[in-house]
Amino acid sequence: MVSDNNSISRKTKLEDKDYKWGFTTDVETEVAPKGLNEEIVKMISKKKSEPKWLLDWRLKAYNHWLSQDEKEGEPEWAMVDYPPIDYQDIHYYAAPNSSDSPKSLDEVDPEMLEAFEKLGIPLEERAQLAGVAVDAVFDSVSVATTYEKQLKELGIIFCPLSEAIKNHPDLVKKYLGSVVPYSDNYFANLNSAVFSEGSFIYVPPGVRCPIELMTYFRINTADTGQFERTLIVADKDSYVSYLEGCTAPIRKNSQLHAAVVELVALENAEIKYSTLQNWYPGTKEGVGGVYNFVTKRGKCLGKGSKISWTQVETGSAITWKYPSVILQGDNSVGEFYSVALTNNRQQADTGTKMIHIGKNTRSNVVAKGISAGEGNNTYRGQIKVLPSAENAQNFTQCDSLLIGDKCGAHTVPYIEVKNPSAKLEHEASTSKVSDDQLFYLMQRGLNEEEAHHMIITGWSKEVFKELPFEFAVEAGQLLKVSLEGAVG
Amino acid sequence: MSYLDHYKKLIEAEFKSNKNFNFMRAVTPGADYFIENGFPLKKKGNERWKYLDLRNVTSSNFTKSIYEERISNDFDSVLEKLAPCGINIVEDEILIVGDNKNHLSGRNFVDSEGIGASSPSKTIIGEIADPEEDGFIALNAAVADITSFSINENFSQKALNIVFAGQSQSDRLSTERMCIKIHANTEVTINEIHFDSDFNTLNIPVLEIYLDKDSKLIHNKVILGSEKDMNFNFTRVFQEEGSYYKNTSFCHSPSLGSNDIKVIMAGQGSECDLGGIYFTDNKTQFNTHVTVDHLAPNCKSNQFYKGVLSDESKAVFSGKIFVERNAQKTYATQKDLNLLMSKGAEIDTKPSLEIYADDVECSHGATAGHVDESSLYYMMSRGIEKEIATQMLVRGFVDEIIDSISDDKIRKFALNQTELILPNLSFK
């Protein structure tokens, strides 16, 4: 039935590139015992000196998770394959040993600073030169915060979530769980019960945040699942751009990462959220690597608001991530730009959801998937137009590139329209890098690998241009490193 | 699951009637699967039917019509129905399903495998349509009325018309299965016509088609539905090397139903063109499910579907291009365009790709929207009433598909049907 086609397939060889960011920092860490039960949830809450309402919320989430775990278990619809996760074999809390948060860079553990150096993010330098305020999350407790003063003058709150819970309880209480409720999905439930750190941003009415805000997440303690929760609220007529970058050291066991990000944009506000994810993808045989099961969702609550997601995903053994926008306010806009790369045994099932509720809402989706080695890359998206969404518009484009004959590229878009005035367009294509283009470049003296890089970079430009400048450079670099030795 | 008891009895009765060994072998997996799983009503993991409300299939205990009933649905009344198509007994080959099954036998283009349940082909039945793929296919397999024949190169080049006349009594179940083999180097046109029925009936026809090397089949399908009948229509095609398959469907939605096509491209260099138009109106729900499995290199497939939805109807398009690791040099396209004509109508479209080979070119596209405002304005500013202008635009939208129907009689019939459907669509 199936013919032999050695002559047809163009031989492409994929080799493992070394994970450049693989190292472990030796910092004393306070770790909760393995396993998950009500006591652990209470302990995390106590460690954080949280108010009662939050503990109650956590416990509700935990109980919901338990019942869901019994009933249905993990979601199975994604095109990813992994051994069952033992949720009782994970540390749910780990904190660097210093009990008091450092107040300035001098107080920061030098080893931690060195770790950031190795990542190519010299904290002070980059912060000063590039004008980026860094709220670095090293495991679960925030390490250093810069530019806080400048932001304070504008009334912008940018701090660890735990601090916000203490200092701005009303804001947190109002918006936490308003976009991703604790009962949302299996992994978001888990996060709601045990989240330990994350960032909180509030931009007051009429304020345009003058700098790109940035948080660096790192998973550092062996077998620690990290459960951050980020909440960003942009009040009327405000603007904020947030960058998130991730790398993690080499680990033998797979690490679970179940984060939740919630964005709320009020009237005419705009939030730009950029992610560069380069976590440990496991060995080329598919051993280890991070399980990145993340729930990211924004709500365009006010009229004329805008939320824009940009992501470059090159790491993790498994990526399960669908940054979404609920377009509730009239005339609101949602955007999603993504480049996802899978090499070796990596698996990515990623995409977006655009839920059109308000009138004249618009959304734009550009998703690029690159599959190499034995990687599998799935775009899964949903565009939903509810009956109330008069004149809603969506344009979706998803393109896939295949490098090598052992990888897979899949596209699963769901388009659901309940309003006749809506206009939706979806287009997608899958192909390999064209021989003509390669030939053209190689004829001009580039070798095959360089030619591939040039074509792939050009192909990804549409997404890269949405990234803030510093990130765009790093993203191009990352793509190059990730594909090193993939062609030949 | 009380409805299952009913079907269990039905299946047992079917097994008791004297069926031969081959038949049993073919239908047993379907019976086992259906008794265990029933209709695909489950919510979780049910991708194919997730948007449709299938509860109505269990609303009554459908039973198979007895032979006498089918006979009463006589030849003349079917011919009458066919008259608007221009298909007649003098010029055309007509096979009326569920009735005079044997009237084709003896024609020189039909091979000795013969027609009728007595001699089902060992090679095809249940081999192309996997009974475990879906509950409906399983039920069909379990209690199927099988018509099996093959067509050789002596075929006169004219079309073979297969007519499903529609049932004339309520609560009847029809599970026709046609197994058709097209011999190598043979070129055939098959017109498959499903007439509507004004009775609450459940129709689950399954076609299994085997295309031998370098054969060519033009398959035109007309499904006419009423607000009462249900029609879950399955077509499964297996293509050998160098074969060509073209399927063009014209569907006016039954109360609940589907046009479910799967083409397995197993031979190098085969090609298929799948296309169709679906009209849904009132409160009907219709699922168009198209899968193309590219298993061999150098194959080409196209999918091009259009939908016109009005009232409170719901249409689902779920297309899939699957490219296996070996299927290098695949070229596959998929397009689904929809017009939503009224508030309350709903389209759920899912054009998906699953690709494991690298040297391929695959693309898909989908749109949903209303008729173009500026075109409408252009026509209205020239004195054409809005309603008429809208109808003309829909007509133009639909014509692209209808024009691709290569059989003259069916094309005219489809055009006539469109004329009948259009004025009744509500554009609000």
Residues in chain B within 8 Å Cβ distance of A430: 353, 355, 360-363
In a domain, A487, yes or no: no
Q: What is the pLDDT of residues A194-229, one digit of tens each?
A: 988 788 999 999 999 988 887 655 455 544 557 889
Structure tokens at A404: 């090598």
Q: In this complex, is the C-beta atom of B376 within 8 Å of any C-beta atom belonging to chain A?
A: no
Q: In this complex, is the C-beta atom of A74 within 8 Å of any C-beta atom belonging to chain B?
A: no
Residue A130's pLDDT is what?
A: 38
- How far is B21 from A229, CA to CA, in rounded Å? 64
Structure tokens at A255: 């690490």
CB pairs < 8 Å spanning A and B: 145
Cβ contacts of B109-113, under 8 Å, gap ≥ 24? B109/B151, B109/B152, B109/B153, B109/B154, B109/B155, B109/B156, B110/B149, B110/B150, B110/B151, B110/B152, B111/B149, B111/B150, B111/B151, B111/B152, B111/B181, B111/B183, B113/B148, B113/B149, B113/B150, B113/B181
Structure tokens at B415: 């055009």
- Verify whether the Cβ–Cβ distance B328 to A8 is below 8 Å: yes
Mean pLDDT is lowest, of A291-300, A418-427, B129-138, B148-157, for B148-157
- Verify whether the Cβ–Cβ distance A416 to B356 is below 8 Å: no
Q: How many domains does chain A have?
A: 1
Residue A453's pLDDT is what?
A: 86
- Verify whether the Cβ–Cβ distance B346 to A10 is below 8 Å: no
Residue A160's pLDDT is what?
A: 84
In a domain, A16, yes or no: no
Residue pointed to by tokens 């990352």? A478
| Mutate which: B123, B353, B370, B376, vs A, most A CBs within 10 A | B353
Q: Which of residues 112-131 of B touch A (CB under 8 A)?
A: none
In a domain, A399, yes or no: yes
Q: Which of residues 257-276 of B touch A (CB under 8 A)?
A: 266, 268
User: What is the Cα B168 distance to its own chain's centre?
Assistant: 21
Q: What's the average pLDDT block by block, 10 residues per block, for chain B (428 residues)? A: 86 76 74 92 85 91 74 68 79 69 51 43 73 93 84 78 84 88 91 90 94 95 93 96 97 96 96 96 95 96 96 94 94 94 92 91 91 91 92 94 93 92 77
Residues in chain A within 8 Å Cβ distance of B296: 1-3
- Give the distance from residue B39's alpha carbon to the nearest chain A alpha carbon, in angstroms: 21
pLDDT at residue A99 tops 70: no
Q: Average of pLDDT values for A428-440?
A: 89
Q: In this complex, is the C-beta atom of A71 within 8 Å of any C-beta atom belonging to chain B?
A: no
In a domain, A347, yes or no: yes
In a domain, A273, yes or no: yes
| Mutate which: B213, B324, B355, B394, vs A, most A CBs within 10 A | B355
pLDDT at residue A356 tops 60: yes
User: What is the Cα B170 distance to its own chain's centre?
Assistant: 22
Residue A11's pLDDT is what?
A: 30
Q: Which of residues 291-350 of B touch A (CB under 8 A)?
A: 295-298, 324-326, 328-329, 338, 340-350
- Give the distance from residue A362's alpha carbon to the nearest chain B alpha carbon, in angstroms: 14
- Verify whether the Cβ–Cβ distance A412 to B328 is below 8 Å: no
The residue range of the domain holding A39 is 29-482
Q: What is the pLDDT of residues B57-79, one digit of tens each?
A: 998 899 887 666 665 556 677 77
Length of chain B: 428
In a domain, A23, yes or no: no
Q: Which among B348, B360, B362 has the least Cβ separation from residue A415?
A: B348
| Mutate which: A4, A384, A406, A411, vs B, most B CBs within 10 A | A411
- Verify whether the Cβ–Cβ distance B356 to A403 is below 8 Å: no
For chain A, the average pLDDT equals 81
- Verify whether the Cβ–Cβ distance B363 to A400 is below 8 Å: no
Task: Pick the more confident residue, A474 or A7.
Answer: A474
DSSP string across B199-229: S-EEE--EEEEEE-TT-EEEEEEEEE--SS-
In a domain, A444, yes or no: yes
Task: Pick the more confident residue, A52 or A21.
Answer: A52
In a domain, A19, yes or no: no
- Give the number of other Cβ atoms within 10 Å of residue B426's Cβ: 14
pTM, rounded to two decimals: 0.86
* Reported confidence tier of residue A179, pLDDT bands at 50, 70, 90: very high
Residues in chain A within 8 Å Cβ distance of B370: 420-423
Residue B67's pLDDT is what?
A: 61
pLDDT at residue A105 tops 60: no
Residue pointed to by tokens 């941003």? A201
Q: Which of residues 377-416 of A touch B (CB under 8 A)?
A: 385, 387, 400, 402-416
Q: What is the pLDDT of residues A358-376, one digit of tens each?
A: 999 999 999 999 998 889 9
| Mutate which: A430, A434, A456, A487, vs B, most B CBs within 10 A | A430
Give the orientation angle of helix B21-37 with respect to helix B2-16, to 10 degrees.
170
Q: Average of pLDDT values for A52-71?
A: 91
Residues in chain A within 8 Å Cβ distance of B368: 385, 415, 417, 422-424
Residue A17's pLDDT is what?
A: 47
Task: Pick the more confident residue, A99 or B155.
Answer: B155
